[in-house]
Amino acid sequence: MAYQKSQEEIENEKMSKINAAGIINITLENLWKDSYSSMATGNYSTWNAKLDAVWLILAGDVKPNSKEEQEYNKIDLQIHEAGSLNPKKVGFHVEKNKESRNLHYLLLKKKALFLRRLQNSQGKGTAYVSEDEDDFD
């Protein structure tokens, strides 16, 4: 005779999954807030690190060598090839290469947009529409 879960065990599992999803969404939201703050202050290195943290959460639902992983790696490589995200410090003066900073800005925006779209497509973002929800339109 096979073991069957009680209704209470089934409900507890459902609640556990809902709680885990909520924690993931809160974590993602905090990372996005931090990334926007870093973007606004021009701290490209921290901006990139926050986006990498978003990727680590979302990548758990991405198959290895998928088009999503390949696209992410392509953007990351472009950022790396554009040079250091940290401006050089010479004494008390910070040298900023305007062309490099502009390229980094565009690439980091591209990375952020890619991640936001991936998050939405996974149902962890604002554009998620469940097929089993009523359409109120």
User: Is 65 within the bounds of a domain?
Assistant: yes
Compute the average pLDDT of residues 69-98.
83
Give which of 34, 29, 48 is closest to 111, Cα–Cα: 48
User: Is 1 within the bounds of a domain?
Assistant: no
Compute the average pLDDT of residues 57-70.
96
Compute the average pLDDT of residues 10-35.
80
What pLDDT does 66 receive? 96
User: Is 31 within the bounds of a domain?
Assistant: yes
| In the predicted structure, residue 32 carries a pLDDT above the cut 60 | yes
d(CA 70, CA 81): 16
Which tokens hold the place of 17?
Answer: 């999954």
Q: What is the pTM of this model?
A: 0.77
Phi, psi angle pair for 89, to nearest 5°: -105, 130
| Domain enclosing residue 77, as ranges | 8-121
User: Is 136 within the bounds of a domain?
Assistant: no
pLDDT tens readout for residues 87-110: 766 666 666 678 888 999 999 999
User: Is 134 within the bounds of a domain?
Assistant: no
User: Is 28 within the bounds of a domain?
Assistant: yes
User: Is 73 within the bounds of a domain?
Assistant: yes
User: Is 79 within the bounds of a domain?
Assistant: yes
Note whether 117 and 40 are within 8 A (CB): no
Tally helices (H) and strands (E) across the chain: 4, 2
Give which of 12, 94, 114, 116 is closest to 45, Cα–Cα: 94
Total number of domains in the chain = 1
What pLDDT does 136 receive? 47
